[in-house]
Amino acid sequence: MAISLRSSSFASLGHFPQVGKPSGWIRSPSRLLLLSTRSFPRIFASSSSSSVDADLNSELDAVSSFSEIVPDTVVFDDFERFPPTAATVSSSLLLGICSLPDTKFKSAIETALADSECYEQRDPSKRLSCFYDKALVNVGADLAMLVPGRVSTEVDARLAYDTHAIIHKVHELLKLYNEIEVPPERLLFKIPSTWQGIEASRLLESEGIQTHLTFVYSFSQAAAAAQAGASVIQIFVGRLRDWARNHSGDPEIEAASKRGEDAGVALVTKAYNYIHKYGHKSRLMAAAIRNKQDIFSLLGVDYIIAPLKILQSLKDSITYPDEKYSYVRRLSPSSAMLYNFSEEELVKWDQLSLASAMGPAAEELLTAGLEGYVNQALRVEEHFGKIWPPPNV
């Protein structure tokens, strides 16, 4: 089947570590999936730092013995090659569903637009917001029946600088999921890593609600997210590298460059070592992977989200890489204990210290990410406004 969505932002898959067994929820997935992968399965990382055995069938087998390798795909017919195990439902996924003439998730959106509770909202903006939340949850519930892992639900980026609004929105979404009997252990809530988002994560995690902090582009964000107890922390390796190639003046990036290190790989390494040296519960995810070297440099990190082109190359190769890229675990709890942090890096992070420590790269990339999410949400609501009410309502 050749139909595909050619934007990696449409959805996310992988296998979020699961708490408990979702009895009665799993059924055989169809091949017609509108899914991509930015979620996170159980860790298969080896505790050994030696090279892998020579009897492995492919490079993909080799790297998968150190980190969970998750496909980043939005292609319908890749289920057999790289089976999805978890998912993210987002504004971009809703846009993708709406842009296609027929998908298995279309009815989830139509049901949301026919919801009487939303219909009764007299304020048009509140009505569209209600439709938006219902659509996210309906699609998320469908995904939860298709994948064995957890579903991460995007929290409206327009709330990114309001802690109480984020918490209120998560409670609303959780209530909607509860009404259609999606158990909370199947869920994560994806929140931007502003200070307000990190604080919201701390408070939600204290309630037992699992969070997924995204748009982390600095050590201060990663450390604050770990201190908050976020279940998943997502770092975009390639985006930091792209920024570094075209900009200057960021102390954290320049320090990595002076050490001969890639900015994105250096941040993941430092964040991993901080989490494991100081006993934080967070799992770390490396996203925006650009090439095999990124994967080899990050072996041992909890999750690596890789494009299909790279995964296919790993899968097709049955030979070891050249000596420059040996299959050695680069990140491990034991090596983390040897990593030294400065006194400034070991502070209890608060809003002021976070703001002063974030360099221009983190500030610009966070702003750009938020603007993208907000624009997508507005486009979804604009589309819903055009097609509402649906037939027979």
* Structure-block tokens of residue 212: 């997924």
Contact partners, residue 176, CB within 8 Å, separation at least 6: 133, 134, 137
126 an active-site residue?
Answer: no
Contact partners, residue 153, CB within 8 Å, separation at least 6: 88, 89, 90, 136, 137, 140, 173, 187, 188, 189, 190
**Spatial distance between the Cα atoms of 294 and 266, rounded to a whole number of angstroms:** 11
3-state secondary structure of 214: strand
* Structure-block tokens of residue 338: 């040897």
* Structure-block tokens of residue 315: 């899968």
E strand residue ranges, 103-186: 151-154
Active-site residue (options: 21, 104, 134, 190): 190
**Spatial distance between the Cα atoms of 181 and 7, rounded to a whole number of angstroms:** 31
**Spatial distance between the Cα atoms of 360 and 248, rounded to a whole number of angstroms:** 9
**Spatial distance between the Cα atoms of 121 and 393, rounded to a whole number of angstroms:** 15
Where residue 171 falls (left for φ over 0; alpha for ψ -120 to 50; beta otherwise) is alpha
* CA-to-CA separations, 71 to 4, 133, 196, 329, 346, in angstroms, rounded: 15, 27, 30, 20, 34
- The answer to whether the CB of 136 falls within 8 A of the CB of 163 is no
3-state secondary structure of 215: strand
DSSP per-residue letters across 36-105 = -----------S--SPPPTT-SSHHHHHHTTSEEEEE--BTT-TTTS----EEE-HHHHHHHHHSS--TT
Question: So which residues are the catalytic ones?
Answer: 190
